[in-house]
Amino acid sequence: MVVAISRQQAIAELTAQGGPYELAQQVIDGRPLRVFVHAPPSLRALFTETVSDAAFIVYEDERLSFREAHGRAARIANLLTREYGIEKGDRVAISMRNYPEWILSFAAVTSIGGIAVAMNALWQAEELEYGLNDCGAKVLIADQERLDRLAHCPHIANLRVIAVRSSPQNADVPRLDDLLESIDDTDMPAVDVLPEDPATIFYTSGSTGHPKGVVSTHRNIISALFSWELDTRAAMLVAGVEPEAPAHQPATLLAVPLFHATGSHAVYLQSYRAQRKLVSMYKWDAEQAAELIERERITSFIAPAAMTGDLVRVAQRTNRDLSSLLTVGGGGAPRAPEQVKQIGSSFAKALPNTGWGMTETNAIGTGIGGAEYLERPASSGRCSAVLELKVVDDNGEALPAGERGELLVRGTSLFQGYWNRPDVNATVFDAEGWFRTGDVAYLDDDGYLFIVDRIKDLIIRGGENIGCGQVEAALLMHPDVYEAAVYAVPDERLGEEVGATIYAKASLDDDALRAFLLEHLARFEVPRYIRRADAPLPRTASGKILKRELRDEAAKAVNGGV
């Protein structure tokens, strides 16, 4: 047994010179940053250094070891360089379910210095067309569902498409498996991938307009992965325990989309150094998840509150052996304090953990878990060692502990900026490199973060960011809708649902309106609650719709009020 120490002491010990997570100050692009001295310089190096015969990808009856996965990724990389001319900096879009090909394509693209564009697989044709044009993808690797939507995207120039698990009707689109028949097993193409090279673009919804592409470098992403490792090791030192050799291979359940930073970073990419088995689901089903946890001896599960809540309910009524589960993590949306307690009481060994992070921070920011989380279920935890947080007032002045203001963040995992959006970058970054998150928060005297509201006009539905302005724009495209206001309605399972108040032609049917919206929005973006106003919507003196008033009325009605 090791003598317990404070978190600050543990991090200082682990990050000191010669320590496993040694941190050193470097100036990168004019910014002083704390970097992990012993981290691999790129994702390419991460993949190469972790090749082994241990099980890696499990999908239904398919299984690949780390070695087999790396070999297949190398073949895809050679295909992209030889036949498709992909060079450093070229964008290759990936749009599909959580198939093994998503992971293999991502590893291939980032290993040759390409930029992997993780397209939101829930996007409909209109959004898909926008994203492909915005990033300027040279190649799209997509499954059948996405190919069907692509057929309704007439305005995409110079895009070549590779099909994954497609139907025979799509014979005109070359299939990845067929293309790889001419590529022998071989090494990765020789490309010098540098830490500051851009590696990924993930799209995130904003409060207005189209989604924005978040550009991150190899260093940004690797820093996030090492930060999670550091926090885990520090927590063990604080608890006074030594890491034990696991009785069986660690395993995690991949049930959240890989196009989210939670799925790609916290679940997928973190599995390499942990030599963790990755068990992927076709779609979320809590009963099937419990079956997989029992069969594959899953040790960790990370998902938004809606999904972890589903699993808690299954655990409370099932006889399945879920004792292998050690952690149930959160991501994408806040978790109700009551669910935190239920996780602690519903599983034999599993303890809850969560954190605050953004796509823009590569999913890290703060973290909290175990007994600490059970004691502070409303908190998002304390700051990562490679980031800094501060809360400011409307004038940008730092606020003392306990006072609410806008949360700002800066540090090594913070993204480089939004793709082709210098106008937005100029407003969200200040001269000292601080990024304005749009979250209203406070830090307590011990450095614990509490998120209390959002400045940005966003709905977070089960971990999905939905821009109110985008939904409003789609509503107003209908000729019978005169005014529209979109807002979040509290939902016990998903955290928030999409609500809308419209002033529209009386004869407009709600179901017909939803059918219209499905032509322009992803299904999860279509309002569940539609309320009618019999007069123009209330506005402020400056002409802004009183959205808070409408939102409060909707929440009251949903909860059984008048």
Instruction: Enumerate residues 6+ apart whose C-beta is below 8 A from 34.
Output: 23, 24, 25, 26, 385, 386, 411, 412
Look at residue 1 and tell me whether its pLDDT is greater than 50: no
Look at residue 2 and tell me whether its pLDDT is greater than 60: no
Do residues 538 and 501 lie in contact, with contact meaning Cβ atoms separated by under 8 Å? no
The 10s digit of each residue's pLDDT in 80-139 is 999 999 999 999 999 999 999 999 999 999 999 999 999 999 999 999 999 999 999 999
- Pick the last residue of a domain from 405, 439, 454: 454
Both ends of the chain: CA-CA distance in Å? Answer: 60
pLDDT: is 65 or 440 the higher one? Answer: 65
515: how many CB neighbours lie within 10 A of its CB?
11
Token code pair at residue 288: 């099937």
Distance CA 468, CA 478 (A): 16
H/E stretch holding 485 reads strand 481-491
Backbone angles phi, psi at 278, to 5 degrees: -115, 110
Q: 356 and 221, same structural domain? A: yes
Residue 45 lies in a domain: no
DSSP three-state, residue 483: strand
Q: 123 and 89, same structural domain? A: yes
- CATH number for the domain harbouring residue 115: 3.40.50.980
Q: 185 and 220, same structural domain? A: no
Do residues 224 and 361 lie in contact, with contact meaning Cβ atoms separated by under 8 Å? yes
- CATH number for the domain harbouring residue 284: 3.40.50.12780
pLDDT at position 385? 96
Token code pair at residue 443: 């830090």
CA gyration radius, the chain: 23
Residue 76 lies in a domain: yes
Residue 153 lies in a domain: yes
Domain hosting residue 146, numbered range = 61-204
Q: 332 and 434, same structural domain? A: yes
Q: 154 and 117, same structural domain? A: yes
Q: 393 and 285, same structural domain? A: yes
Note if the pTM is more than 0.85. yes
Residue 450 lies in a domain: yes
Residue 79 lies in a domain: yes
- Pick the last residue of a domain from 439, 454, 469: 454
Question: DSSP of 461-524, one letter per residue?
Answer: ETTEEEEHHHHHHHHHTSTTEEEEEEEEEEETTTEEEEEEEEEE-TT--HHHHHHHHTTTS-GG
Q: 351 and 291, same structural domain? A: yes
Distance CA 113, CA 203 (A): 19
Residue 48 lies in a domain: no
Residue type, 20: P
Q: Biggest alpha carbon distance in the chain?
A: 73
Distance CA 523, CA 429 (A): 33
- Strand segments, DSSP code E, in 228-299 are 251-254, 277-280
Q: 76 and 107, same structural domain? A: yes
Backbone angles phi, psi at 286, to 5 degrees: -65, -40
Residue type, 318: T
Look at residue 561 and tell me whether its pLDDT is greater than 60: no
Residue 128 lies in a domain: yes
- CATH number for the domain harbouring residue 526: 3.30.300.30
Token code pair at residue 266: 């916290």
Average pLDDT of the chain is: 91
Q: 151 and 265, same structural domain? A: no
Distance CA 499, CA 483 (A): 14
Look at residue 562 and tell me whether its pLDDT is greater than 50: no
Q: 80 and 148, same structural domain? A: yes
Token code pair at residue 385: 């060692």
Look at residue 340 and tell me whether its pLDDT is greater than 90: no
Look at residue 381 and tell me whether its pLDDT is greater than 80: yes
Look at residue 20 and tell me whether its pLDDT is greater than 70: yes
Domain count, the chain: 3
Q: 245 and 151, same structural domain? A: no
**Res. 295 pLDDT band, cuts 50 70 90:** very high
Q: How far is CA 536 from the centre of its chain?
A: 38
Residue 52 lies in a domain: no
Q: 465 and 435, same structural domain? A: no
Token code pair at residue 159: 């895009």
- Pick the last residue of a domain from 454, 486, 512: 454
**Res. 401 pLDDT band, cuts 50 70 90:** very high
